[in-house]
């Protein structure tokens, strides 16, 4: 590294004192950071690791990468209904590229500031391998109010926020596996590169959602985690699932609808929330959608019989489509 480790830390990852947060008593610069949570709250923490070439294109816009590295962690806090406090950043770099680092930190801090989430420490090393970024995020949630995967009950509605499948379509385009029309690509790319962590939604769902998870590996797979933890099954409504595609109306008329359904249900990288809630809360959920100006789609219901069934408009299960979900697990 031409700039030393400590130069990198002080130049790109240390902020003026005005960016401090009352919960962080000691931040970057000492052996440990000191963090407190509000009375009556528990600490909520999560970590994600991103490796160049595996989780992001090495030539991705570094500002977008800074955003996404933090966004995927904040998304985990959102899924628990937690409020962000602070994060740690581990970064391993084959060389010090100052332009890249200043763009990366600009994207990182822009999102951190939006959520009042302070960088309180980390580790910085040189390496011979690809750029590797590890963020550990810390948040707080009132005692016994965290949203967990295990609370879904038979009869609950299944909801998802925002748009699904767009990130996958943008990825497939970037991999050269399909060609999206320019308007569709433009609409889908932010889902891949600049996901929005649903922090306000997670907080609003405390006491309303019976279970919650963020969608990182695809609707179908992540719903299975909720079902396993809650010991139940799910019926999904094909038409409602398809309506979660943000770019559907921008695709060519001959775009395969079964391919679109697979992308929406198994695409991954959506970073939207999937939650379940009893019908008694359906008005409250509509009110939250309006207040946060966020689409909340009711896509199915929790059942006693295990497994996931995709139902057509007549309520008939679509066996073939469920089998073809393997398409993505083989290629991803």
User: By the criterion CB under 6 A, which residues form the site for ligand ADP?
Assistant: 9, 13, 28-31, 89, 91, 119, 121-124
Rank residues 123 and 312 by Cβ distance to Mg ion and give the closer one: 123
Q: How far is the CB of 241 from ligand ADP (least distance, A)?
A: 40
State the residues that interact with Mg ion by CB under 5 A. 123
Q: 65 CB contacts (<8 Å, ≥6 apart)?
A: 50, 56, 104, 107, 133
Q: How far is the CB of 238 from ligand ADP (least distance, A)?
A: 45
**HSE-CB of 91 using CA atoms within 13 angstroms:** 25
Tell me which of Mg ion, ligand ADP, none is bound by residue 304, counting a contact when its beta carbon lies within the kind-specific cut-off of 5 to 8 angstroms.
Answer: none
Q: How far is the CB of 140 from ligand ADP (least distance, A)?
A: 20
Tell me which of ligand ADP, Mg ion, none is bound by residue 91, counting a contact when its beta carbon lies within the kind-specific cut-off of 5 to 8 angstroms.
Answer: ligand ADP
CB 168 within 8 A of CB 329: no
Rank residues 122 and 221 by Cβ distance to ligand ADP and give the closer one: 122
Tell me which of Mg ion, ligand ADP, none is bound by residue 234, counting a contact when its beta carbon lies within the kind-specific cut-off of 5 to 8 angstroms.
Answer: none
Rank residues 55 and 173 by Cβ distance to ligand ADP and give the closer one: 55
Q: How far is the CB of 28 from ligand ADP (least distance, A)?
A: 4
User: Rounded to the nearest 5°, which phi and psi values hold at 119?
Assistant: -75, 115
**What string of H, E and C letters represents the secondary structure of the chain?**
CCCCHHHHHHHHCCCCHHHCCCCEEECECECCCEECCCCCEEEEEEEEEEEECCCECCCCCHHHHHHHHHHHHHHHHHHCCCEEEEEEEEEEECCCCHHHHHHHHHHHHHHHHHCCCEEEEEEEEECCCCCEEEEEEEEEEECCCCCCHHHCCCCCEEEEECCCCHHHHHHHHHCCCCCCCHHHHHHHHHHHHCCCCCHHHHHHCCCCCCEEEECCCCHHHHHHHHHHHHCCEEEEEHHHHHCCCCCHHHCCCCCCHHHHHHHHHHCCCCCCEEEEECHHHHHHHHHHHHHHCCCEEEEEEEECCCEEEEECCCCCECHHHHHCCHHHHHHC
Tell me which of Mg ion, ligand ADP, none is bound by residue 9, counting a contact when its beta carbon lies within the kind-specific cut-off of 5 to 8 angstroms.
Answer: ligand ADP
Q: How far is the CB of 196 from ligand ADP (least distance, A)?
A: 23
Residue, CB closest to Mg ion: 123
Rank residues 7 and 295 by Cβ distance to ligand ADP and give the closer one: 7
Q: How far is the CB of 124 from ligand ADP (least distance, A)?
A: 4
Rank residues 90 and 130 by Cβ distance to Mg ion and give the closer one: 90
Tell me which of ligand ADP, Mg ion, none is bound by residue 89, counting a contact when its beta carbon lies within the kind-specific cut-off of 5 to 8 angstroms.
Answer: ligand ADP
Tell me which of Mg ion, ligand ADP, none is bound by residue 112, counting a contact when its beta carbon lies within the kind-specific cut-off of 5 to 8 angstroms.
Answer: none
Q: How far is the CB of 284 from Mg ion (least distance, A)?
A: 47
Tell me which of ligand ADP, Mg ion, none is bound by residue 31, counting a contact when its beta carbon lies within the kind-specific cut-off of 5 to 8 angstroms.
Answer: ligand ADP
Rank residues 10 and 286 by Cβ distance to ligand ADP and give the closer one: 10
Rank residues 109 and 275 by Cβ distance to ligand ADP and give the closer one: 109
């Amino acid at each position: 590294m031409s700039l030393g480790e400590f130069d990198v830390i002080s130049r790109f990852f240390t902020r003026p004192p005005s960016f401090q947060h009352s919960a962080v008593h000691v931040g970057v610069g000492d052996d440990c950071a000191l963090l407190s949570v509000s009375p009556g709250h528990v600490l909520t923490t999560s970590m994600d690791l991103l490796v160049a070439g595996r989780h992001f294109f090495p030539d991705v816009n570094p500002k977008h990468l800074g955003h996404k590295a933090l966004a995927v962690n904040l998304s985990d806090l959102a899924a628990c209904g937690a409020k962000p406090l602070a994060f740690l950043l581990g970064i391993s770099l084959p060389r010090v590229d100052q332009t890249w680092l200043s763009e990366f930190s600009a994207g990182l801090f822009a999102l951190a500031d939006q959520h009042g989430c302070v960088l309180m420490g980390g580790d910085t090393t040189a390496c011979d391998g690809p750029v590797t970024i590890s963020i550990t995020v810390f948040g707080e949630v009132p005692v016994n109010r965290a949203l967990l995967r295990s609370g879904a009950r038979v009869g609950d509605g299944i909801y998802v926020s925002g748009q699904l499948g767009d990130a996958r379509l943008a990825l497939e385009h970037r991999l050269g596996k399909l060609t999206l029309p320019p308007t569709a690509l433009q609409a889908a790319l932010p889902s891949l590169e600049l996901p929005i962590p649903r922090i306000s939604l997670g907080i609003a769902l405390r006491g309303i959602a019976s279970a919650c998870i963020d969608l990182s590996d695809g609707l179908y797979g992540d719903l299975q985690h909720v079902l396993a933890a809650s010991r139940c099954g799910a019926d999904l409504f094909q038409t409602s699932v398809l309506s979660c595609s943000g770019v559907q109306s921008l695709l060519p008329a001959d775009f395969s609808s079964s391919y679109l359904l697979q992308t929406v249900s198994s695409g991954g990288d959506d970073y939207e929330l999937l939650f379940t809630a009893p019908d008694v809360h359906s008005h409250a959920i509509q009110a939250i959608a309006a207040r946060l100006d966020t689409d909340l789609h009711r896509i199915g219901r929790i059942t006693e019989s295990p497994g996931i069934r995709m139902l057509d408009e007549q309520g008939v299960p679509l066996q073939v489509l469920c089998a073809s979900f393997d398409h993505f697990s083989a290629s991803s």
